[in-house]
Amino acid sequence: MNSSKKVILTGASGLIGKEAIEPLKNLGFDIYALTIDSPEVWTHGRMNALQKQVTLVPCDLFNPQEIKSVFEKIKPSHLLNFAWATTGDYLSSNINFDFLTASLNLLKHFSENGGKRAIFAGTCFEYKFKMTPLNETDEVSPETVYAKCKNHLRELSQLYCAQNNVSFSWGRIFYVYGHGENEKRLTAHIIKSIKENKEVIINSGSLIRDYIYSKDIAGGFVKLLDSGVEGIVNICTGKGITLADYALTIANKLGRPDLIKILNEPTNQPPVIIGGNTRLTNEAGYQIQYSLDRAIDNILNDRNR
């Protein structure tokens, strides 16, 4: 435990967290992954390989005494916090308040034990949407419980860190796709449906979204963690794609574009959600590594193993 770069990682077995382990290791971090997962989660396939690169720390994020004890023992220099609920009814769930409280408690014990640099994960849904790319200085207008709690956490975390001499950055994540997604999410739903020879209906094919691969999200966060960049940083590609084109890209890879049915039904959803990623690329120094084609190939190859 003598490394000058010790990071506590939360959400380490999640969609993004698991992808952060390799880039963290490559940048010389000693990784302590807080987990309440059963051992089986970490002892098969890809997770088993990742386990060998981290120190697993059994810990309940919602147990203040356990968090206090862990930080007193490890005394990390860095904190990378991905832990949050993003499945089921998470947009309106009361669990968002629990994660808000737990995240502030993490920050408190991190600071009290000499922590220097913390990065938390936010969401593009904090923004007030507009037709042009969203920049970090743009107006916020969170609407869901999830987005309101995230934005509130960001405000309080920035205030706390300024008060306590902790370097802090907040990565706003745009539309995610990656390995091992919940099958109710769009990408996994398309793949599963096509493999089962079922039609996929895209109700609002003209909507434009900024989709970013989970490996690029993790790579961006790790590069940000290792930098001195503070404040809000968009984690996005800076490019938009229609839902129709996104779905057809996946379907073409599987040789079944005929199973995609594109509709353009009226919707209350914002027509465009694209982020500006100038801070990520120019200040944090992270360049997007994966095209959509390459990322989808990776996901399909992973599923075929």
pLDDT in tens, 233-247: 999 999 999 999 999
Please report whether residue 255 resides in a domain: no
The runs of H, that is alpha helices, within the chain are 17-26, 45-51, 64-74, 95-112, 145-163, 186-195, 214-225, 243-253, 278, 292-303
Please report whether residue 261 resides in a domain: no
Distance CA 51, CA 13 (A): 10
Please report whether residue 254 resides in a domain: no
CA distances for 36 relative to 39, 41, 231, 250, 301, angstroms: 9, 10, 30, 34, 29
SS3 for 280? Answer: helix
Band of pLDDT at residue 45, cut at 50, 70 and 90: low
Residue 196's CB: how many other CB atoms inside 10 A?
8
Please report whether residue 110 resides in a domain: yes
Please report whether residue 195 resides in a domain: no
pLDDT tens digits, residue range 14-23?
A: 999 999 999 9
CATH at 131: 3.40.50.720
More confident residue, 226 or 42: 226
The runs of H, that is alpha helices, within 138-213 are 145-163, 186-195
What residues make up the domain containing 24? 6-177+211-237+273-289
Q: Which residue has the tokens 């502030």?
A: 104
DSSP-assigned letters across all residues of 217-271: HHHHHHHHHTS---EEEEES-S--EEHHHHHHHHHHHTT-GGGEEE-B---SS-S
Going by DSSP bridges, is the β-strand pair 30-35/55-58 parallel, antiparallel, or unpaired? Answer: parallel
Please report whether residue 157 resides in a domain: yes
Give yes or no for residue 297 having a pLDDT over 50.
yes
Please report whether residue 267 resides in a domain: no
Structure-derived torsion over alpha carbons of residues 8, 101, 36, 186, reported in degrees to the nearest 10? -90
Number of domains in the chain: 1
Give yes or no for residue 48 having a pLDDT over 80.
no
Residue 17's CB: how many other CB atoms inside 10 A?
23
Please report whether residue 259 resides in a domain: no
pLDDT tens digits, residue range 75-121?
A: 999 999 999 998 889 999 999 999 999 999 999 999 999 999 999 99
The model's pTM: 0.94
Give percent above pLDDT 70 in the chain: 94
Inter-residue contact 75 to 32 (CB < 8 Å): no
Band of pLDDT at residue 10, cut at 50, 70 and 90: very high
- Residues contacting 258, CB < 8 A, separation 6+: none
